[in-house]
Structure 1
Amino acid sequence: MKALITGVSGFVGTLLSEKLIENGYEVSGFSRRATSHKNIEYYPCDITDSSNVEEIIRKIQPDEIYHLAGSSFIPSSYTNTMQTYDTIVNGTLVLYEAIRKLDIDCKVLFVGSGEVYGEDKRSSYNEGDLLQPSNPYAGAKASADLISEQYFKTFGMRIIRARPFNHTGPKQSPHFVCSNFAKQISEMEVNGDNCISVGNINVQRDFLDVRDVVNAYLKLMKYGENGEAYNVSSNKPVFISELLNMLLSTSSLKDPIIEIEAVRLRVKDVAIKAGDNTKLRLHTGWKPEIQLLETMKDLLDYWRDYQAQVGDDKDEYPRT
């Protein structure tokens, strides 16, 4: 089986490529920046470059395409709104049109976002809820989600839509909350500082280990129904403060000072967000296997190892 991953050099793309290789796939991928993975066929390519995307797909003739391309860092979508929409919306159109033009009979997993549901709701979101995006990133993902549904209905393309909620784990960029906490703690253990900077830690979010998310993507590709949308979530919202406490409980720090830093506060920060994963469980048999405490331990150990090897060279940080 041949698998193609767009956005292959990102956090999830890197882990997904490793998992596919373990499962006997021949893996290719493209992205704007190179991947460090040596066991895949890598192509430098911007998802909006239609001629290059078409040429890559023509060459590979993939059986499966995992469409991950596009930055997932929400704050940057406020300052780079046009680029966010261009990459996510136009990039998705470029990909689908290349598949149509070449008449490639492949399955596509479009990786959207649980952000498409918008403002907070006390019960968990399910796939039948309205898409009401409240930031540019969510708006772009919602648009591409609808485009994916339309291409299934109009052209019969075999597209499955994933709507992942928050996920974290080793190698995640420190732009994201859990990885940022872990990075700070690993540095504090070395330099003796006793103050950790945070944003709003009194909100609840639905978190999964990235390894459980990748397993969900593989199961969706195998068992998911074409044209359907699936939440990839835990259905168990957790306070950000709880995740911080998990990290601190596995550290050597004693009574650290927790300081709210204004620059870390979001423009819009809803109180609670969780996704109902019933449909994913029923259709694929998937279930999360990694407890968040284990995730936090692995994340902190990753940053400890990273600090020992690289130090404080910001240019070497892992990227989304």
Structure 2
Amino acid sequence: MQLKNKKVLVTGAEGFIGSHLVERLVELGAEVTAFTLYNSFNSWGWLDTLDEKYKKHMEVFTGDARDENSVRKAVEDKDIVFHLAALIAIPYSYYAPASYVDTNVKGTLNVLQACRDFMIEKMIHTSTSEVYGTAKYVPIDEEHPLQGQSPYSASKIAADMMAESYYRSFKTPVAIMRPFNTYGPRQSARAVIPTIISQILSGAKEIQLGSLLPTRDFNYVKDTVEGFIQVAENDKTIGTIMNIGTGKEISIGHLTEKIIGLIGRDVKISCQEERLRPEKSEVNRLCACNKKVSEITNWKPKYTLDEGLKETIDWIEKNIHYFKSDIYNV
């Protein structure tokens, strides 16, 4: 399947990964509709910052994934749907779990039902490596058990199962993509890499973090987006679940030391209690097996961690005004 001239909907288009995906789809010649969350400020999130060469080739639809009617209106007459809209902050899910069920589970159901009713050609549902919980073995393949270690991960497990059920029950052409920890330009300080970088670049002498022990498999955003594209274009991905990750892990402590070295500042690292997850909720180890997606689509990550970090550091340095580095961003 070629994406050129296809009518494509991207939910969650105003967000970190979504905005990068919109750019790539425009470059490929797709007719892109960017579904963004309605707000009275008429803000389109990161889409507002895109170059005009992208803006003039996309349509913005404001609505709410939790609202069945707005989802149906957005999906109608589309060929392909990339579903990224979700609440993703793990700490906030401890305070507002019901909102995660409404957005991540009901919102996904709304998109699935609309895709079924309007017989779209393909839906790519966005999962997360958090659904695996702490690794029982590494690298983690798609057969690894799922474990809800936070309300966020539990809601994403439910959304994944709903997507799988629509494929099995109604033959809805769904592919489930499970990115490991994506990072890069436009990511908020909710995530660890922008948290580290923004604190250092704002002049902090001591970086405030949570636990330094967990390991993560960090995937640069351009590689993640290329995963979306290749999963969408390949017909063999329908009905499958595919990890998108590098197959390499690094601890948060070693990651922090690497970033400090790349920036070249003399700073200390300290653990702040409010940033720690509850003991049984912390995911201690994540490392992807990407064999399946590589065999089906030939996708492989192109960016090394150092290359991706350097691009991210450069972007945050130029856009440091977006970050409130002295406040814990949940």
| TM surpasses 0.5 | yes
Q: Please, which of 291, 315, 318 is the counterpart of residue 305 of structure 1?
A: 318
The code of the aligned residue for 1:218 comes to I
Whole-angstrom CA distance in 1 between matches of 2:211 and 2:165: 37
Q: Does 1:124 align with 2:139?
A: yes
Q: Could you tell me which residue of structure 2 aligns to residue 11 of structure 1?
A: 16
Match of 1:44 among 57, 62, 68: 62
Aligned with 1:98 (options 109, 114, 118):
114
SS at match of 2:8: strand
Compute the RMSD of aligned alpha carbons.
1.9
Q: Distance in 2 between matches of 1:271 and 1:113?
A: 15
Offset of 1:312 from its aligned partner? 6.2
Note if contact 2:198-2:323 (Cα within 8 Å) is conserved in structure 1: no
Match of 1:29 in 2: 34
Q: Does 1:286 align with 2:302?
A: no
1:311, distance to aligned residue in structure 2 (A): 7.1
Tell me the alpha carbon deviations over residues 25-47 of structure 1, each in whole angstroms, 9 at most, x when there is no partner. 11102121523142321111110
Deviation string, structure 1 residues 49-78 (Cα, Å, up to 9, x no partner):
1111112222xx221110000121111111
SS at match of 1:272: coil
Alignment partner of 1:142 is 2:157: yes
Q: Structure 1 residues 283-292 or 122-131, which shifts more?
A: 122-131
Aligned equivalent of 2:41: none
**Structure 2 residue 309 is matched with structure 1 residue 296:** yes
8 Å CA contact 1:121–1:273 kept in 2: the answer is no
In the TM superposition, residue 275 of structure 1 has moved relative to its aligned partner by: 1.7
CA shift, 1:239, in A, is 1.1
Aligned length, in residue pairs: 307
Equivalent pair of 1:122/1:272 in contact (CA under 8 Å): no
How far apart are the structure 1 equivalents of 2:205 and 2:168?
A: 56
Question: What TM-score results when the alignment is normalised by the length of structure 1?
Answer: 0.91
Flag structure 2 segments of 5+ consecutive residues without an equivalent. 1-5, 39-43
Q: Secondary structure at the match of 1:249?
A: helix
- TM-score, with normalisation over the residues of structure 2? 0.88
Is residue 2:167 matched to residue 1:152?
A: yes
Whole-Å Cα distance in 1 between the matches of residues 25 and 322 of structure 2?
A: 31
The residue number in structure 2 matching 1:202 is: 213
1:72 to 88, 96, 112: 88
Distance change (3 Å), C-alpha of 1:313 and 1:198: closer
Task: State the Cα distance separating 1:88 from its structure 2 match.
Answer: 0.8
Which has the larger displacement, 32-41 or 92-101?
Answer: 32-41
Cα distance, 1:264–1:44 mapped onto 2, change above 3 Å: same
Q: CA deviation at 1:107?
A: 0.5
1:137 corresponds to which letter in structure 2?
A: Y
The 3 A distance-change label for structure 1 pair 55 and 248 is same
- Structure 1 gap segments, 5+ residues each: none
CA distance in 1, matches of 2:23, 2:283: 34
1:313 shift after superposition: 6.5
Counterpart of 1:115? 130
The structural deviation recorded for 1:123 is 1.8
Contact persistence 2:115–2:123 (CA under 8 A): no
Output aligned runs, 1:166-185, within 5 Å: 166-185=181-200
Rounded to whole Å, the distance in 1 between the matches of 2:207 and 2:78 is 46
Number of the residue aligned with 2:287:
274
Corresponding residue number in structure 2 for 1:260? 271
Q: Deviation digits for residues 278-314 of structure 1, max 9, x if unmatched?
A: 101100000000011111111111121113xx37678
- Structure 1 CA distance for aligned equivalents of residues 306 and 62 of structure 2: 37
**Are the aligned partners of 1:243 and 1:296 in contact in 2 as well (CA < 8 Å)?**
no
Distance in 1 (CA, whole Å) between partners of 2:207 and 2:312 is 16
Q: Deviations over 1:101-130 (max 9, x none)?
A: 3x3332000001111112332422211122
Query: Which residue does the alignment assign to 1:85?
Result: 101
1:164 corresponds to which of 179, 184, 187: 179
Q: 1:76 to 1:174 in 2, by over 3 A?
A: same
